[in-house]
Amino acid sequence: MDFLHHVVHPRFAMVCLYKAMKEGDLDQHTLFARALSIAWQQAKVVLTVCELERAWMILAALGLERPVKVRAKLEAREVPAYVAAEEDYKECRKLCLSL
């Protein structure tokens, strides 16, 4: 189920993208390439551009287009794209468990 969590649930892509953002002011192509590298190093998972774009949109909706120095509790469930992706994950997990 870890694989599903990494590729269907948006959180993993969001974390990889945010870590890449913390490395400096990168253009989007370089930022996504770095996030892909982080995902592979951490979980041997290849994220798609679609997953990274969704993560980018969710982070932007949370006001995190740039890294912040203070830690704040993120209310990702207030972002419709996050909620939809989380529901997709739950459905995939449920289907896998029923097999």
Q: Residue 89 and residue 60: Cα distance in Å, rounded?
A: 21
The helix (H) or strand (E) run that includes residue 72 is none
Residue 62 gets which letter from DSSP? T
pLDDT category, 69, cuts 50, 70, 90?
Answer: low
Which pLDDT belongs to residue 24?
Answer: 86
The count of domains in the chain is 1
Collect all residues with Cβ–Cβ distance below 8 Å to 82 and sequence separation of at least 6. Answer: 10, 58, 61, 76
Question: Domain limits at 24?
Answer: 2-98
Q: For 18-39, what is each residue's pLDDT tens digit?
A: 999 999 888 999 999 999 999 9
Q: What is the pTM of this model?
A: 0.82
Model confidence at 1: pLDDT above 60: no
